[in-house]
Amino acid sequence: MHRDKPTVLVVDRECDATRALIAFLRQSGFSVLWAHDDESAFHVLDEERPDCLVAELHMRRIDGFAVLRRARERNAELCAVVVTEGGDIEKAVEAMRQGAYDFQVKPLHLEKLLEVLRRGLEHQRLVARAAEAEERLDRQFRIGRLVGRSRPIARVLEQIRHLASSQATVLIEGEAGTGKGVVAQTIHQTSPRKGERFVWMSCGALAPGAIEGELFGQQGSHPTPGRLELADGGTLFLDEIDKAPPGAQLKLLRLVQNREFERVGGHERLRADVRLIAASHLSLAAEVESGRFREDLYQRLGAVRISMPPLRERSEDVPLLVECFLRELNRDHRRKVTGVTRGLLERLTRMPWPGNVRELRAAIEGMVAFAEGRRPLDLSDLPEALREPESAGDAVRVIVGMTVEEAERALIAATLRHTGHDKPRAAAMLRIGLRTLYRKAKQYGIRSPGGRPPP
């Protein structure tokens, strides 16, 4: 809940000094809560979430250490100031070790206390902004795309965990849309370089003649730094490395070997402290065999490799990915989609997804963008292009001589297959009641996908 004023909890006995402190804080723009003992302080902390704490360290019925611990359990970034008599300096220092922001000695210097509280609040704002930026970054590159419990993705996550703290050059291979860029970003964000720049360059997005200048910079009359210099101290991610022309490959080899390079048109040797991560949706080994990629560069890049699994090899992760994308896309498009029906989820899980996770996300985004109201997505929300491959096989063949029961069984079975055994949806399409559908499915022995008999 948004509050116009920061809130401070004062824990001290009732006296003129306490009343003066409370009045001063209110005049200074704070909303003030007051507790005269431990019990009332704990109650306030359980009911409210103050931004600041000013607490007597030790007094009858007041244990400042206990109040400090409870307050920090409720709000780890809380600005806590402990107040002590002159002879309790050692205890005040111990309180600082336990998380207090500052300590003050009685009688209080109110202006000094105010400055400490304001400084603590500014620290909280900085922490909040950093957390918000990290959340945005996480949403953008996430791990939404790396979510899963399958063995292939668990292996990738374990490789990331091991590689993040190293300085090793990494080659990421995998089909388009599997999340190679996400892996590169995750390695950077969990490495010692996370506070530095992450610079992304796609070799496939540039004309071959422009790649060297874009990567290494141009000397000329007005020198222009390239992506490599921009990434100094951080991480350089080169996507579609297989598209790099021979000249750029040679310069990259020198960079990997010596950390040195020259701008295009220049002769001065420059140094760059970058971690290089490269990616390709082609097999670089095959590119080496064909002579299109340098073997020595491949050996340097491929010493540490991560192979991204296609989505069809980890279809058990589709439900988790769908859930993750729905949360993200509801927020982005201001929609209220509550989930997906079982029939739609089964259909999404069975699809081959040649475009992998990227294609799945695009499909979910299209359905969410068109959704209205608070409801789950169902098979009717699927784009036409995704319905066509299966709809051709959903025709019902009726042969002269079939009984009505045989034709009805074929129609019900085909409708259930079409809806992914989403029985409410199938009943609606057949214009019969749900109970009737259950009864007829049982009567005709139509089983659900797991081979279970109908209830």
CATH number at residue 91: 3.40.50.2300
Residues 54 and 90 in one domain: yes
Residue 430 pLDDT level (bands cut at 50, 70, 90): confident
Residues 295 and 161 in one domain: yes
Residue 137, domain member (yes or no): no
Dig out the tokens for 327 from the structure: 């949360």
Residues 252 and 295 in one domain: yes
**Count of C-beta atoms within a 10 Å radius of residue 433:** 11
Distances (CA, A) of 21 to 8, 25, 109, 176: 11, 6, 10, 63
Residues 55 and 84 in one domain: yes
Q: Tell me what pLDDT residue 87 has.
A: 65
Residue 144 has pLDDT above 50, yes or no: no
Write the CB contacts of 70 (distance below 8 Å, at least 6 apart in sequence).
41, 42, 45
Residues 73 and 16 in one domain: yes
Residue 451 has pLDDT above 50, yes or no: no
Provide the residue range defining the domain that includes 126: 7-132
Query: What CA–CA distance (Å, rounded) separates 67 from 37?
Result: 9
Residue 392 pLDDT level (bands cut at 50, 70, 90): very low
pLDDT digits (tens, 9 = 90+) for 69-115: 889 888 888 899 999 877 677 888 888 888 888 889 888 999 999 99
**At how many degrees (to 10) do helices 423-430 and 434-444 cross?**
100
Query: What CA–CA distance (Å, rounded) separates 302 from 278?
Result: 9
β 275-280/235-239 pair status: parallel
Residues 161 and 222 in one domain: yes
Q: Cβ(141)–Cβ(182) under 8 Å?
A: yes
Instruction: Kindly report the pTM of this predicted structure.
Output: 0.56
Residue 453, domain member (yes or no): no
- Name residue 224's beta-bridge partners: 218
Q: Cβ(81)–Cβ(52) under 8 Å?
A: yes
Give the domain CATH number at 428.
1.10.10.60
Residues 170 and 56 in one domain: no
Give the domain CATH number at 324.
1.10.8.60
Task: Give me the phi and psi of 359, to 5 degrees please.
Answer: -70, -40
Query: What CA–CA distance (Å, rounded) separates 294 from 292?
Result: 7
The more confident residue out of 356 and 445 is 356
Q: Cβ(298)–Cβ(285) under 8 Å?
A: yes
Question: What one-character DSSP code corresponds to residue 145?
Answer: G
The burial of 297, by beta-carbon neighbours within 10 Å (0-12 exposed, 13-18 middle, 19 or more buried), is given as buried
Query: What CA–CA distance (Å, rounded) separates 52 from 72?
Result: 10
Residue 449, domain member (yes or no): no
Q: Cβ(21)–Cβ(28) under 8 Å?
A: no
- The H or E element containing residue 426 is helix 423-430
Residues 62 and 113 in one domain: yes
Q: Tell me what pLDDT residue 389 has.
A: 44
Q: Cβ(329)–Cβ(368) under 8 Å?
A: yes
Average pLDDT on 212-219 reads 89
Residues 202 and 294 in one domain: yes
Among 116, 120, 12, residue whose Cα is nearest residue 64: 12
Residue 393 pLDDT level (bands cut at 50, 70, 90): very low
Q: Tell me what pLDDT residue 321 has.
A: 93
pLDDT digits (tens, 9 = 90+) for 223-278: 788 889 889 999 999 999 999 999 999 999 999 998 889 898 888 888 889 999 99
| Of the residues 307, 329, 350, the one at which a domain ends | 307
Residue 54, domain member (yes or no): yes
Average pLDDT on 178-200 reads 91
Range with the lowest mean pLDDT among 177-186, 262-271, 363-372, 394-403?
394-403
Q: Tell me what pLDDT residue 454 has.
A: 44
Tell me the percentage of the chain whose pLDDT exceeds 90: 45
Dig out the tokens for 145 from the structure: 């795309």
State CA 306 to chain mean position distance. Answer: 20
Residue 2, domain member (yes or no): no
Residues 216 and 230 in one domain: yes
Residue 452, domain member (yes or no): no
pLDDT digits (tens, 9 = 90+) for 27-65: 999 999 999 888 899 989 888 889 999 998 887 888 888
Query: What CA–CA distance (Å, rounded) separates 180 from 171?
Result: 10
- Dihedral (CA of 14, 20, 21, 27) sign: positive
Dig out the tokens for 200 from the structure: 């992304």
State CA 448 to chain mean position distance. Answer: 35
Give the domain CATH number at 285.
3.40.50.300
Q: Where are the beta strands (DSSP E) in 6-148?
A: 7-11, 31-35, 52-56, 58-59, 62-63, 79-84, 102-105
Residues 168 and 247 in one domain: yes
The 3-state DSSP class for residue 279 equals strand
**Count of C-beta atoms within a 10 Å radius of residue 415:** 22
Q: Tell me what pLDDT residue 136 has.
A: 55
The more confident residue out of 241 and 397 is 241
Number of domains observed in the structure of the chain:
4
Residue 432 has pLDDT above 80, yes or no: yes
Residue 338 pLDDT level (bands cut at 50, 70, 90): very high
Query: What CA–CA distance (Å, rounded) separates 320 from 69?
Result: 37
Residue 3 pLDDT level (bands cut at 50, 70, 90): low
Query: What CA–CA distance (Å, rounded) separates 333 from 336?
Result: 9
| Of the residues 132, 166, 194, the one at which a domain ends | 132
Q: Tell me what pLDDT residue 390 has.
A: 44
**Count of C-beta atoms within a 10 Å radius of residue 29:** 11
Residues 266 and 321 in one domain: no
Q: Cβ(337)–Cβ(375) under 8 Å?
A: yes
State CA 319 to chain mean position distance. Answer: 17
The more confident residue out of 1 and 323 is 323
The 3-state DSSP class for residue 89 equals helix
Range with the lowest mean pLDDT among 1-5, 139-143, 167-171?
139-143
Range with the lowest mean pLDDT among 294-298, 343-347, 354-358, 384-388?
384-388
Residue 173, domain member (yes or no): yes
The more confident residue out of 385 and 280 is 280
